Amino acid sequence: MTRRVRIGIVGAGPSGLLLSQLLEKHGIETLVCEHRSAEHVLSRIRAGVLEQGTVDLLDEAGVGARMHREGLVHEGIAIAFRGAHSRIDFPSRTGGKTVLVYGQTEITRDLMEARRAAGGKVIYEAEVVGLSGLDGDTAVMRYRKDGVEHEVACDFVAGCDGYHGVSRRSIPADRVTTYERVYPFGWLGVLADVPPCSPELIYANHERGFALASMRSPTRSRYYIQCPADERIEEWPDDRFWAELKVRLGPEAAAGVVTGPSIEKSIAPLRSFVIEPLRYGRLFLLGDAGHIVPPTGAKGLNLAASDVHFLVEGLTQFYATGSTAALDSYSDRALRRIWKAERFSWWMTSLLHRFPETGAFGARMQQAEFDYLIGSEAAQTVLAENYVGLPFE
């Protein structure tokens, strides 16, 4: 028997749950299918630097109380370039704007609890095995749960299932254009229950490679170092990681590094990826299903949130008035913001990392770029405006 809902959502990460929460507040019924268990979703370690627009959206969804209570307001970042440190102050460059550090895992937990409290229809360990009718009058989402296949007829489907999900693969190849750059390195990340070495994030360019000092709370730190794309995690015991991190951060920051056993260690590849358009008939792509940015600019989760914002506007307008204008403009509006974030993340990555082809000329260009940045209020304003987040337009 085929079930009927207005919006089928593939994926119960933060974008899928946030979309469901906001739509249900407008009386628009949703069904969320997630291939993994709830425990697995919560075990995924992700970033957590939130733009004001993302914070506002979480408040609108009614899940902001713990975020405001436990999140860390940051008014700037430090950039360390081969021993020289410079701080970029956000409020003075952006009219008072800041960012909030609050882990993506905690956002997901808050959204899970909100959906559960509201009786939201979220089905875990339900693999979506097919999407059909996307270019017709009704979309059909088929999922398998406990060996039984189910069908759900939907007005629209939101693909929030990431880069490897079924949603993007359901679009005919000749209906989209893909833009991609794969970087020749990754980020080796360590999570540890130790206090952060700095009250604000430190982005470091060192001759041995990039490093980042960040945090999840006053007692939990997240550190990264650049490594070859084919590096093996087994080659990086904790002692080696801490020693390399201290070298790359420089003596000033290294003096504040408290070491301890890692509670999570992983290597994340870096890529830039965008698919155009983000809509195919009754299917809309959100988050990593449609675009990926290098983590250098802290834009991945925030772009997913802006996608949610634009789609909620379109769907609420459609169900309130019958107009498809905002739905029809969803892809164009989202992509304008996505490409600006891609540019910023590409620029930050280019400034801070060692590339195989950098060479002597490239090193001098990075140095000149850094010197210009720290000596120019205009350049610092550009960085600050992009980091705290461009408006949802």
Q: Is 40 a catalytic residue?
A: no
Helices (H), ranges, the chain: 14-25, 38-43, 52-60, 65-70, 90-94, 104-117, 166-169, 238-249, 251-254, 300-321, 325-328, 330-352, 359-375, 377-388
203 as an active site residue: the answer is: yes
Strands 177-192 and 126-132: unpaired
Per the CB < 8 A criterion, the answer to whether 100 and 116 are in contact is no
Residue of 143, 203, 223, 330 marked active site: 203
The answer to whether the beta carbons of residues 367 and 206 sit under 8 Å apart is no
Cα(34)–Cα(290) distance, rounded to whole angstroms?
18
User: Is 179 one of the catalytic residues?
Assistant: no
Question: First CA to last CA across the chain, in angstroms?
Answer: 41
| Cβ neighbours of residue 15 closer than 8 Å, sequence gap 6 or more | 160, 286, 287, 304, 305, 307, 308
The catalytically annotated residue of 35, 291, 299, 353 is 299
State the helix-helix crossing angle for 52-60 and 300-321, rounded to 10 degrees.
40
d(CA 155, CA 310): 17
CA separation for the pair 321, 362 (Å, rounded): 55
Retrieve residue 104's tokens: 């993506």
Marked catalytic residue, from 14, 35, 74, 143: 74
- Contacts for 55-60: CB closer than 8 Å, 24+ residues apart: 55/100, 57/18, 57/22, 57/305, 57/308, 57/309, 58/18, 58/107, 58/110, 58/305, 60/22, 60/25
Neighbours of 260 (CB within 10 A): 13
DSSP string, 126-191: EEEEEEE-TTSSSEEEEEEETTEEEEEEEEEEEE-S-TTSHHHHTS-GGG-EEEEEEEEEEEEEEE
> How far, in Å, CA of 247 to CA of 169, rounded?
43
Query: Choosing from 14, 196, 294, 295, which is the catalytic residue?
Result: 295
Catalytic-residue membership of 299: yes
Asked if 345 and 57 count as a contact pair (C-beta separation under 8 A), the reply is no
CA distance 100 to 49: 6
Instruction: Please confirm, yes or no, whether 199 is among the known catalytic residues.
Output: no
Which residues are tagged catalytic?
A: 74, 203, 295, 299, 387
